[in-house]
Amino acid sequence: MQRTTIDDLLETSRGRIRRYQPAEALEAMNHGAVLIDVRCQEDRSAEGGIDAAILIPRTVLEWRADPSSTWKDDRIAQPDLPLIIMCNDGYSSSLAAATLLDIGFTNTGDVIGGFRAWKASGLPVLECQS
């Protein structure tokens, strides 16, 4: 069996999802898309956050999203709901969004460049909590 590199996996994942520039993600949110921040608390405390984002650690995202899961989060456990995943730099969010497709979601994407690109674009952020 041929080994798949992380770069291969990332490229494949990104080919399957919608990728949003930060301003496009904000516009999509204004039309009903839900932003999920999968960064750890330490990163959010150090760099800030986004008021409208739902905070769900990457380690439990699939359990919160799956409508059949005991641990579902009703705010996102809707397979047709447009979900936009955000991490720090836009790498793990691509993998997470593709995984949601694998469990039956139909409209997932991520923010190109992640939170850091969002902030650098001058879009609204919550102050750091450190």
pTM for the model stands at: 0.94
pLDDT confidence of residue 8: 96
Q: What is the CATH number of domain 6-120?
A: 3.40.250.10
pLDDT confidence of residue 129: 57
Q: What is the pLDDT along the chain (130 residues), one digit of tens a residue?
A: 889 999 999 999 999 999 999 999 999 999 999 999 999 999 999 999 999 999 999 999 999 999 999 999 999 999 999 999 999 999 999 999 999 999 999 999 999 999 999 999 999 999 875 5
Residue environment code for 53-64, b if the CB has 16+ CB neighbours within 10 A, otherwise e: beebebeebbeb
Q: Rounded to an integer, what distance in angstroms lies between the CA atom of residue 113 and that of residue 116?
A: 6
Phi and psi angles of residue 111, each rounded to the nearest 5 degrees, phi first: -95, 120
Q: What is the dihedral of CA 42, 81, 26, 16, to 10 degrees?
A: 80
Q: List the domain boundaries for the chain.
A: 6-120
